Structure 1
Amino acid sequence: MSMAIANARWVLLSQGVRVLCQLAGMAFLARLMPPEAYGLMAMAGVVTNFAYLLRDMGTGAAIIQSPQVSPLLASTVHWTNVALGLAVGAVVAAAAWPMAAAFHEPELAGVLCLLAFIFPLSALGVVRQALLERDSRFARVAKVEMAATVVGLAAALVLA
């Protein structure tokens, strides 16, 4: 089996696990949480999912496509991502109160301020993931993504 087919299988498996966990998570959390809390998380999801699109601004792709990855390039991309993560997190936190007012839900501000911490933390892994993808180590990336998805779902269910 070619490496491309093996990598495609791992990516497909990872995406399948993610979708199944998201569907299962929505179903179980909708039953476990009061409707107000579930709606609050849905509103927060709208904001954070939009902000997530701005997370790395394509810097990971720059590493993947670079003919050679020097330590300087890796370091520059890493710190650029940390700065972008901090900036996106700060924008989410700053937008928390206006978004809470727009949704007529005061509790949303606190939730968004807590979720703003996700962006600088997730920025820490962009370079490592890009290097793995560049080296066609999609199995490792997929395993990490699947584990993170399952652990995240388990944590959400326990905390609900």
Structure 2
Amino acid sequence: MSTTQSERLRGLLEPLVAAKDLDLEEIEVSRAGRRGVLRITVDSDDGVELDTCAELSRTISEKLDESDVMGDGEYVLEVSSPGADRPLTEHRHYVRATGRLAKLTLTGGDEVIARILAVDADGLDLEVPGVKGRKPTARRVGFAEIAKARVELEFNRKDKKEEEA
């Protein structure tokens, strides 16, 4: 995607996404045979409902039809929310992941799997699970130390069951 097209798409889409109280996370334009594919990823602090994606897709489609930003060729529009195991790249992603288990790859190459307890401007307060019956330990990691981070899926998280009981 050319920088000009990227900038034009972002300028066109950001107000539409913001009007739904969502964050525009990613815009990706690719080819699938003769058709173009426009993938738009949106998110919010409360997640994104399927109906909201459908409404936003209709709104975006109408706006794109009025403009020439996608050119004259056919294209497919996909509007979705990020997956459960999405990479954490922005400060707001870490805030949204508070309470969740995350896998962090540090700049030195070490990997840490820990629960995010708190997020501030400088980094994360983590709880590293204990191994073989040991108690969890606290750890502080600065954003400058993080090379990659991703939320880990949890299928049997204990505190979720306690909330339901």
Give the TM-score of the pair, scaled to structure 2: 0.32
More strand by share: 2
Q: Which has the higher contact order (CA 8 A, sep 6+)?
A: 1
More helix by share: 1
Give the TM-score of the pair, scaled to structure 1: 0.33
Higher Cα radius of gyration: 2
